[in-house]
Structure 1
C-alpha cells in the first residue's frame, strides 16, 4: 500500500516558468508531492523545449516532487522518437510517462521494462479489461500506475458509479491510482475550454477539500491532483490540512452547545459501531469516557440528516453518546450540538461499520 499524496498540474506550454516555480514552492509548503505536467507541443524545437522542461522538472525535484509527463502522441512524431526509447523524457528528469493512447497490451508490458526505470502511467477512465490485458503479458507491475482523465467541458465528467467500477479494476490489482479535482480559481488547462478540470462531474462546483475528501473516502484513489492551474493559496492550504485517511466533517456548532458536548464532539476519535443502523451513525465509546459528566437538556430536538446530536441527562445509559443523524426524527433525550456543512453531507454515505471519523469547526 502506498501512502496517500496530493498533486498539482502544470502546463508549461501555456504558462510562465517563474510563475510555475512560485506555484511549486507554495504547493510544497502545504505538503504536495506530485506533478502532472503536460507536454502538448514542441513547436519551439527540441533543444528549447528540453531546456525549459528540464529546468522546471529539476527545480521540482529539489522541492521533493515526482513528475509525470503527459505526452500527446504527436510529440513523439515531432521529436522523431519512438515509444521504445524514453531516454529523452528521462533526461528531462521525469519519473513517469503517461500513455495518452493505448496499444495492444504486449507493447505496454514491454514498455514497463524500459531501461530508464520510468513508471508507465495508464488511463483509468475506461471501464474495460485494459489493465488485465497488459498484466497478462507479464508486465513489470511495480512500474505501472493508473490515473484518470480530467474533463474541461461542463457536463462531460465521469458519473460516480462508472468511476468506481473503472477504479476498482486498478485498485484490485494493487496499482497506484490517481484522479483529478478542480480548483475554483485556476484558469489554465490544456485546451481553450476550461470549465474546471475534475475527473468526476459531481465535483465541478464543490470546494476543493470536499472533492479531495470524497476521492480519498472512496478508498479507490491514492493521489488527488488539482487538474487546473493555479489553485489559490487558500485552496492549497485547505487541501494540505485535510486528513487523507479518515473523514473529518466540517461542522457549525449550535449556539447552546456546552463544554462537555464540545469536548466530546471535537476532541475524540469517533468510530461507527459495527452493528450499524439506518437512523444514525453511533459513536458509543465516548459515552463510557464521559459517563460521569452531566449534560442537561438544551436546544432543539428535531433532527435532520447531517445534524450531530449527543445524549443528554434524560438518556440513561446512553447519556453522552454521539450520533450523526441519517434520517429525520425527533427525540427529547438528545441535544443537537452541530450540523455538518451542506456540501459535505453526501460523504455520510462513506462512513461504514467500524469506520473512523472526526469533526472540525
Structure 2
C-alpha cells in the first residue's frame, strides 16, 4: 500500500471552453493531479478540425503535466483514418493513452497494443478476455492499462464485490476507477447530473471519502473524478486527504523524547513511506484525556492480523497505557455495534488501553469503554482493512 494512488479528472470539451479547461487543469495540477480523461468522439467537426482542436487541448494539458487519456470508438477510428497498425493521427493530436470503448476482438488488439507511436492502450476492466488474447498474440503487457466505467444513472453501478473481483483479476495492470464530485451542476457526457462514480456506494459521499475507500481497496492505481468541474474546495480536500494517507514515519515528531510506544513501532513497521487510512469518528461524552491520547496522539494504528472477526484491534496504544489506569465507565447498551470504537479498561488490565473497532454485534461485558463510533458513510471502508493495515483516527 505504499505506492501512491494517481489522481485524475475528466473533461468534456464539447461542453467546455478551452479557457475553463485550462483554469481547471492549472488548479488541479497544483494539487497533485496528473491525468486527464476526455472523450475524443464527442467533439464535432471535420477530421482536420478535430485534430486541431485536440492539438490545442493536449498542448494545454501537457503544459500542466497531464497525461491525456482519450476515449475512442470504432466509428471515430474509421472517421480519423486510424488503424490498429497506424495510430499516427492520435500521436499528432497529442494523445498519450487510448481508451478503447470497444476493441477489435481479434488479432488486431495485439497489433494495437504494440503500436509504433508509443501510445498506451486502455481497456475496460470487464475485457479481461480481450486483454488475455492480446497478450497471448504477442501484445506487450507493459503497454496495457485498464479503467472501469462510470455510471450517470442512479443504481446502475455494478456491485462493489464484482468491481473488487475484477481488480484482483487485473492485478498485473494499472486499474483506474471513477469517483464523483458532489458539486451541484456538474456534468458528464450526457445530460444527467447525479454524479459519475464507478460504484454506487460513492455516489452521495464526500469525494475525499471516496478516495479514502479506493486506497483502502489496495487494488486501485488511479482515482479519476468522473464529472466536471469539481470545486476548488473538493480539490483541496483531496490534496489534504492524500497528505493524511501517505505518511513517512521518520517525519513524525511527537515533540517529546522518543517514548516506548514510538520506539516499539519503529521496530515493527518498515522505514520509508507508509499508507494509512484516516477514519472519522464521533466522540462520546466523558472520554478521558488518557483515552484521547490512546486514540489521537500517535499518528497511526495497526490492525492486528490474528483477530479479524468481531473487531479490528490496535495494540500500539497499550504501550502508552503501561502503569496507567483506564477507569471503567459504564456503557448502557447491552451490545456494541459495527463501527463502535472502544478502549479496553481496567476490568481486563492485561489488554488495558487497546483500541478496538467493532465489526459485528458484540456483547458488552464491562471490559471496554465506549469512546465513539465511526461515521456512517465510512463503515464500508472498515470492511477493506486487513491484518497489518494502518489507520488513524480523527474527530468529525
1:300 — aligned with what?
A: 331
2:136 — aligned with what?
A: 136
1:112 — aligned with what?
A: 113
TM-score, normalised via structure 2 length: 0.84
Structure 1, unmatched stretches of 5+, are: none
Q: Secondary structure at the match of 1:246?
A: strand
Report if the CA contact (8 A) 2:308-2:387 is conserved: no
Q: Secondary structure at the match of 1:153?
A: coil
Query: Deviation at 1:299?
Result: 6.1
Q: Secondary structure at the match of 2:170?
A: helix
Q: Structure 1 CA distance, aligned partners of 2:164 and 2:367?
A: 39
Query: Deviation at 1:73?
Result: 2.6
| Cα deviation code 1:220-255 (max 9, x no counterpart) | 211011111111222222222222643221112223
Going from structure 1 to structure 2, the CA distance change for 1:42 and 1:277 (only over 3 Å counts) comes to: closer
2:251 — aligned with what?
A: none
Report if the CA contact (8 A) 2:294-2:320 is conserved: no
Q: Kindly indicate whether residue 272 of structure 2 is the aligned counterpart of residue 273 of structure 1.
A: no
Query: Deviation at 1:17?
Result: 1.2
1:79 — aligned with what?
A: 80
1:254 to 284, 288, 292: 284
Q: Structure 1 CA distance, aligned partners of 2:105 and 2:292?
A: 58
Q: Structure 1 CA distance, aligned partners of 2:99 and 2:314?
A: 43
Query: Deviation at 1:123?
Result: 0.9
2:220 — aligned with what?
A: 221
2:230 — aligned with what?
A: 231
Query: Deviation at 1:70?
Result: 1.0
| Cα deviation code 1:189-212 (max 9, x no counterpart) | 112234321112332222222222
Q: Structure 1 CA distance, aligned partners of 2:220 and 2:208?
A: 15
Query: Deviation at 1:69?
Result: 0.8
TM-score, normalised via structure 1 length: 0.91
Report if the CA contact (8 A) 2:113-2:134 is conserved: no
Query: Deviation at 1:2?
Result: 6.1
Q: Structure 1 CA distance, aligned partners of 2:43 and 2:163?
A: 33
Q: Structure 1 CA distance, aligned partners of 2:190 and 2:304?
A: 48
Deviates more, 1:258-267 or 1:129-138: 258-267
- Within 5 Å, which residues of 2 pair with 1:173-184? 174-184=172-182
Q: Tell me how large the CA RMSD over aligned residues is.
A: 2.1
Report if the CA contact (8 A) 1:286-1:320 is conserved: yes
Structure 2, unmatched stretches of 5+, are: 247-274
